[in-house]
Amino acid sequence: MFLKTYSMFFKGLNIFEIDRVFFDDFSHHSQSEQKKVNYRTKQVLKWVYSKYEDNPELFTDLSKPLRSELNKKFNFRSLDLVDYQFSKISNSIKFAFKTLDNEIVESVLMKHPGRYTLCVSSQVGCNVGCIFCASGMFGLKRNLETHEIVEQLFQIQKFIFEREGKRISNIVFMGMGEPLVNYRNVLKSIEIFTSDWGFNISKRNITLSTSGILPRIYDLVVDGVRVKLALSLHSPFQHEREKLIPIAKKYTIDQILKAVEYYYLNTKRRITIEYILIKDVNDSVNHAKELVNLFKNYNMKVWVNLIPYNSIGNIYFEDKLLEEPKIERIREFENIIKDYFEVSVRWSLGRDIDGACGQLRRRIISN
Ligand code: SF4
C-alpha cells in the first residue's frame, strides 16, 4: 500500500477523513481490499486514541512500509510540552505547550476523587476582554486548530496514563479563549473526544463555557451538540456585566438567557452559571437577590458555580482595586441563592501554579 504524499495533521481528522486518505490508494481495487482500508483506519485510530501512542514506528501490527508511509503522510504532533507544574495545595497539574508557530497554550488537569477533568484552551489569547482575566489581556492571537485542541487531551492523557494508569473522563472548555468564537474547530474536537473511534468520552462529561455568543448557542442545538453548557454571567445587571465583560454589549442578558433556555429545553442538560465573586463589585446582597429574580422568568434547571476572584495583579474596576471577597460575603451570597439553585463554591485550583487563566503562559513568555 503506497499512500499519496501530502502532509496533514492526524489529530484534526475524523474517521471518515482518515478512511478517505487510505481509500485514495485503494479506489481501483476490489471490495475485499476496501474492507482492508476500513480495518487499517480503525487499527491506526486504536493506537492513537486507545493506546495513546502516536509514533507510527511503534504501530507494531502494521507492516514496516506502511508505518513509514504513515509517517510521511501525516503529521502526528503539533504541540510541544514545554512546562508543567504540580500544585502543592490542590490536586491539579498545569501544562504549557508550544505550537509550531511558537505560541503558548495552557491546559490544567484537575484530579477529583473518582474522576480526572481536563480544562482545555480553544484559542491563543482571547478577544472577549473580561477585565479579571490574564488571557484577555493579550487580545486574540488566533484560533486553535482542531488538532491543537485534541493534542492537549492526547498528551496529558498519555502523561497521566503512563504515571498513574488513569483515564481522563471529563473535559471543560474553560481554558484560554472563547470556545464559541472558534466554533467549527471546537465542534470537531468534541467529535473526536466523544466518538467510539476517538477518546470515547461521554457528551455528558463535556462542558462548553461561554460568555454568551448568542447565535452559536442556537447553532449548538441545530448541530445536535449535546454537551453541557456553562454561561459566564458574573453580574445580573446588564450595565455592570458590560463593564466586566466588554463583549456583553453585543447581546442583552435576557437575549442570552432565552438562548440558554432554548438549549436546555432541547437538550435537558442542566445549565451551569459561572459567577466570579469580586469584593464590593458584584458580591452584595442586592446582586444575589437580583440573580434569583432574573431566573424566575426562565424554565431551566440551573447550577450556580460561585468562584471567588483570584487576583492576577493590580486591576481596577471604576477606581476600585479588584480583590478577593471576604469569606462571610461568599457565605451570605450562597445562603441567599441556595433555596433557588443548586450552588457550589469553587475555590480557584492551584494558585501556587500560576493557576489564574493565562498566568503560566505570561510567565513563560516573559522568561
Ligand atoms: S475569562 Fe475566558 S472569555 Fe473572558 S477573557 Fe478570559 S479567556 Fe476570554
Q: What would the mean pLDDT of 306-316 be, rounded to a whole number?
A: 82
Q: What is the pLDDT of residue 316?
A: 80
Question: Would you say 153 and 172 are in contact if contact means Cβ atoms under 8 Å apart?
Answer: no
Helix residue spans in 268-326 (DSSP H): 285-296
How far is C-alpha 37 from the chain's CA centre?
33
The one-letter amino acid at 47: W
Q: How far is the CA of 139 from the centre of ligand 1 (A)?
A: 10
The reported pLDDT for the residue numbered 1 is 46
Q: Between these two residues, 20 and 149, which has the higher pLDDT value?
A: 149
| CA–CA dist 243, 130 (Å, integer) | 8
- pLDDT surpasses 50 at 184: yes
**Hey, which of 120, 173, 178 would you mutate to test ligand 1's pocket, going by the most ligand atoms within 8 Å of its Cβ?**
178
Protein residues whose CB sits closer than 6 Å to any atom of ligand 1: 126, 128-130, 133, 135-136, 176-178, 211, 357
Would you call 119 a catalytic residue per the annotation? Answer: no
Position 22 scores a pLDDT of 78
- Cα–Cα distance between 38 and 300 in angstroms, integer? 43
Q: 38-67: per-residue pLDDT in tens?
A: 888 999 999 999 999 999 999 999 989 889
Average pLDDT (175-193) is 97
pLDDT at 61: 92
Residue 3, pLDDT > 60, answer no
Give residue 136's pLDDT band: very low, low, confident or very high (50, 70, 90).
confident
Q: Going by C-beta distance under 8 Å and a sequence separation of 6 or more, which residues neighbour residue 15?
A: 41, 42, 45, 195, 197
Query: Do residues 292 and 337 lie in contact, with contact meaning Cβ atoms separated by under 8 Å?
Result: yes
Using DSSP, state whether 265 is helix, strand or coil: helix
Choosing from 106, 148, 178, 274, which is the catalytic residue?
A: 106
Of 113-127, 263-277, 335-349, minimum mean pLDDT range: 335-349
- How many CB atoms are closer than 10 A to CB 179? 29
Say what the pLDDT of residue 65 is.
87
Is residue 73 a contact partner of residue 40, using CB atoms and an 8 Å limit? no
**pTM beyond 0.85, yes or no:** yes
Average pLDDT, the chain: 89
2 pLDDT band (50/70/90 cuts)?
very low
Average pLDDT, integer, range 84-92: 84
Which CB contacts under 8 angstroms, 24+ apart, belong to 36-45? 40/1, 40/66, 41/15, 42/15, 42/197, 44/18, 44/70, 45/15, 45/18, 45/197, 45/198
Residue 17 designated active-site: no
In tens, the pLDDT along 227-246 reads 999 999 999 999 999 999 99
CA-nearest residue, atom 4 of ligand 1? 130
Residue ranges of alpha helices (H) inside the chain are: 15-24, 31-49, 64-73, 146-164, 183-194, 214-222, 238-244, 253-267, 285-296, 327-337, 359-366
Pairing mode of beta strands 104-112, 92-99? antiparallel
Domains and CATH numbers, the chain: 8-75 (1.10.150.530), 79-366 (3.20.20.70)
- Please state, in angstroms and as integers, the Cα–Cα distance from residue 5 to each residue in 36, 42, 78, 330, following that order: 20, 20, 18, 59
352: exposed, middle or buried (Cβ count in 10 Å: 0-12, 13-18, 19+): middle
**pLDDT per residue over 263-303, tens digit each?**
999 999 999 999 999 999 999 999 999 999 999 999 999 99
Q: Which of 119, 126, 133, 357 does the annotation list as catalytic?
A: 357
Which stretch, 191-205, 311-325, 349-363, has highest mean pLDDT?
191-205
Which ligand 1 atom sits closest to the C-alpha of 134?
6
